[in-house]
Structure 1
Amino acid sequence: GYARRGGLEDALAEIEALAAHPRIRAIGETGLDFFRTEGEGLAHQRYSFRRHIDIAKRLGLTLQIHDRDAHDDVVQVLRDEGAPERVVFHCFSGDEALARTCNAEGWYMSFAGTVTFKNAADLRAALAIAEPSRVLVETDAPFLTPHPHRGRPNASYMVPYTVRAMANVTGSELSELCSQIAANTVRAYGSWD
């Protein structure tokens, strides 16, 4: 069992100790990644994810979700364990169904440059129905560079391309969307003031 896996338990204890620092705002990325993962690796992911949820709740931190090819399982674990007050789906990759779940649960959806990709119709459909108060943006640098620079290394200066595409999808005024994202970010992670 996991009790014999001292290395994992030591790592989790270290994460909790480090997360107690007042500048720490989130636990993560954590979650489930079913891409090229199987066997015992899946069991370790599930166990660690549950422990990270517990740490986030006990320390009052945001939970930053990594979800790759595992939407239903991530949601099930969050529901089984009881999600922390603030949950962010990093690099949101879901469809309308996951966006509806996030809306209903009050979880944040953070969109990256992928929302600008031509083959990302499902992602744009999810953004179109996402509650504006739950939408965030990110770079996921150095990957997932937005169109028209896809294929080049990503960096924070590329965020405006993603936000402009998001405004087009949602029918929002760019300045209003920027203000909404800024307010959402403070609610999700706190202020540095």
Structure 2
Amino acid sequence: MSAGRRPAPDLPEPLAPLVDAHTHLDACGADDAESTAAIVDRAASVGVGKVVTVADDLAAAQWAVRAAHWDSRVYAAVALHPTRANALDDAAKAELERLAVDPRVVAIGETGLDYYWPGKLDGCADIETQVEGFRWHIDLAKRVRKPLMIHNREADHDLLTVLLDEGAPSTVIFHCFSSDANMALSCVAEGYVLSFSGTVSFKNAHELREAAKVVPDEQILVETDAPYLTPHPFRGAPNESYCLPYTVRALAELREQDPRELAEITTANARRVYGI
């Protein structure tokens, strides 16, 4: 889905406090301190007081760390996306290791396995290369003692197997959880944290919506994954961190919780998980 086909959503009714556990500020149009602040200001106006901006390649990782130093409300996660694992050469590893120890970096991610794109996307890392890259990122997260942020697309079994084989870091976050209730329960049993995006508001996402109901309060986060995955009824419109209250209200309705209570729960979890 490409962002920008529809007008941007209106500002939602404020819901505080909230932390956007996963966004891409650079992909939302931020390129300097001023434009970064403008996006975060919009989010703060509706109660989203902190955001974690996430890298998918080396340039994005370097930018995310700069952004986190520009604005105290921004934190960074650094890694190479699994589809880009074929770029994880010695120089890239050295740079990611340097970035990972920065105090504004709160997670190693997004990393993991993506079985959807190989064969469809030119230049996409093959599965063997993805697994090797994933193993390296797991080791990095353990060495720097920071959470591991997972990207998982159609790779449930193999992803859990690699985590078990390598020995997972103390904190594992499944960003934009998109699997079914059985996978959710498997992750919960391992103590992993599941983060839900606007996709949980899509009425046709039946298995995901069932999964969202079985996650304990202490293991749940909320995110936008902006600029994509804009929540219903704005699907197809550009997403930003300010849209997070729409997702939280949809998730709260699904879980039969008060939205303000869920906001407080997810924010407390984000502060604990990321150490912010």
- Partners of 1:40 and 1:148 lie apart in 2 by 34
Residue of structure 1 in register with 2:89 after alignment:
8
State how far apart, in whole Å, the 1-side matches of 2:245 and 2:125 are: 41
Cα distance in structure 2, aligned partners of 1:175 and 1:152? 25
* Superposition deviation, residue 13 in structure 1: 2.1
* Number of residue equivalences: 187
Report SS of the residue matched to 1:31: strand
Q: Quick one: structure 1 residues 110 and 6, their matched pair in 2 at CA, closer, same or farther if it must change by over 3 Å?
A: closer
Greater helix content = 1
Partner amino acid for 1:144?
Answer: L
1:8-27, aligned counterparts within 5 Å? 8-27=89-108
Supply the AA of the counterpart residue of 1:133: E
1:54 is matched with 139
Match of 2:179 in 1: 94
SS in 1 for 2:264: helix
Distance change in 2, residues 1:69/1:7 (3 Å): closer
Pick the aligned partner of 1:73 from 158, 168, 172: 158
- Stretches of structure 1 lacking an aligned partner (at least 5 in a row): none
Tell me which residue corresponds to 1:105: 190
Q: Gaps spanning 5+ residues in structure 2: where?
A: 1-85
The 5 A counterparts of 1:148-167 are: 148-167=233-252
Stretch of structure 1 that moved more, 35-44 or 118-127: 35-44
Flag as ranges the 4+ runs of structure 1 deviating above 4 A: none
- CA offset digits 1:68-97 (Å, max 9, x no partner): 111111111111101101111011101101
RMSD of equivalent CA atoms? 1.6
The more displaced of 7-16 and 149-158 is 7-16
Higher relative contact order (Cα pairs below 8 Å, separated by 6+ residues): 2
Alignment correspondent of 1:134: 219
Alignment of 1:161-180 (within 5 A): 161-180=246-265
TM-score when normalising by structure 2: 0.65
Per-residue displacement from partner, 1:80-137 (whole Å, max 9, x unpaired)? 1011011110111011011101211111111000001111111110010011111101
- Tell me, in whole angstroms, the C-alpha distance in 2 between the residues paired with 1:94 and 1:182: 23
CA distance in 1, matches of 2:207, 2:218: 20
Question: How far apart are 1:7 and its partner, in Å?
Answer: 6.0
By how many angstroms is 1:6 displaced?
A: 9.5
Q: Structure 2 CA distance, aligned partners of 1:147 and 1:78? A: 33
Q: What's 1:30 paired with?
A: 111
Task: Give, in angstroms, the shift of residue 36 of structure 1.
Answer: 2.3
Matched, 1:64 2:149: yes
Distance 1:56 1:112 in 2: 23
Alpha-carbon shift at residue 10 of structure 1 (Å)? 2.1
Q: Distance in 2 between matches of 1:143 and 1:94?
A: 18
Give me the TM-score of the superposition, normalised by structure 1.
0.92
Cα distance in structure 1, aligned partners of 2:217 and 2:252 = 11
Secondary structure, aligned partner of 2:262: helix
